[in-house]
């Protein structure tokens, strides 16, 4: 009877949760699922005891970029059609004083890959308008020289 008494004395403690085993938390998701406080920062943080777990946020993919040349075949990108129709040079000539230095700009024809799509003319400049939106896509001028332009296309 003496051996049973110490075990019976522990039963109320177990029922009250005093000897309950803590869930092992090893990452942000487990920490939040266990009901621990989550800080609404970016990225979010969760604290379990003395340990802080940071939410892993995937990096946004880089927009796809393409080098275009005037007169080259159009570029198709997920239903969008891009053509470089011209490169305009408004830069100040050498040995001339100008009020504005000017810039190289790319003139693009943008349409959807459908027979009845409207065509938009977009002019992207190094300074004045480095990006524009067309058909829900953001088109950004990455690089330009007298012979070609590189643009990045970011679709939602």
pLDDT at 133: 94
The pLDDT of 34-38, averaged and rounded, is 91
The pLDDT of 26-55, averaged and rounded, is 90
Please give the residue range of the domain that contains residue 118: 64-154
Is 141 inside any structural domain? yes
Separation in Å, CA 88 to CA 7, 25, 143: 90, 60, 14
Residues 103-118 have pLDDT tens digits of 999 999 999 988 888 9
Residue 138 has pLDDT above 60, yes or no: yes
Provide the 3-class DSSP secondary structure of residue 32.
Answer: helix
Tell me how many degrees the CA angle 70-71-74 measures, rounded to the nearest 5: 95
In a shared domain, residues 80 and 43: no
Residue 58 has pLDDT above 90, yes or no: no
Number of domains observed in the structure of the chain: 2
The residue that leads in pLDDT, 138 or 98, is 138
Residue 4 has pLDDT above 60, yes or no: no
In a shared domain, residues 74 and 118: yes
In a shared domain, residues 77 and 136: yes
In a shared domain, residues 124 and 88: yes
pLDDT at 8: 52
In a shared domain, residues 46 and 122: no
Is 85 inside any structural domain? yes
The pLDDT of 11-35, averaged and rounded, is 71
In a shared domain, residues 27 and 45: yes
Is 132 inside any structural domain? yes
Lowest-confidence range among 17-21, 86-90, 120-124? 17-21
Which residue among 43, 58, 73 closes a domain? Answer: 58
Structure confidence at residue 11 as a pLDDT band (50, 70, 90) = low
- pTM summary value: 0.59
Total Cβ atoms within 10 A of residue 48: 20
In a shared domain, residues 54 and 69: no
In a shared domain, residues 127 and 143: yes
In a shared domain, residues 122 and 93: yes
How long, in residues, is the chain?
Answer: 156
Structure confidence at residue 124 as a pLDDT band (50, 70, 90) = very high
Residues 61-71 have pLDDT tens digits of 666 788 999 99
In a shared domain, residues 73 and 150: yes
The pLDDT of 15-28, averaged and rounded, is 67
In a shared domain, residues 45 and 113: no
Is 115 inside any structural domain? yes
In a shared domain, residues 39 and 108: no
Structure confidence at residue 10 as a pLDDT band (50, 70, 90) = low
């Amino acid at each position: 009877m003496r051996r049973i008494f110490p075990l019976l004395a522990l039963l109320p403690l177990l029922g009250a949760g005093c000897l309950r085993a803590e869930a092992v938390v090893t990452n942000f998701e487990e920490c939040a699922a266990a009901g621990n406080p989550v800080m609404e920062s970016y990225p979010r943080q969760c604290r379990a005891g003395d340990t802080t777990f940071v939410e892993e946020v995937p990096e946004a993919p880089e927009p796809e970029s393409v080098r275009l040349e005037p007169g080259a075949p159009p570029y198709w990108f997920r239903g969008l059609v891009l053509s470089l129709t011209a490169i305009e040079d408004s830069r100040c000539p050498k040995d001339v004083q100008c009020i504005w230095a000017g810039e190289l700009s790319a003139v693009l024809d943008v349409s959807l890959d459908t027979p009845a799509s409207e065509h938009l003319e977009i002019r992207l400049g190094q300074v004045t308008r480095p990006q524009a939106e067309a058909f829900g896509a953001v088109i950004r001028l990455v690089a330009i020289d007298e012979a070609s332009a590189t643009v990045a296309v970011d679709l939602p």
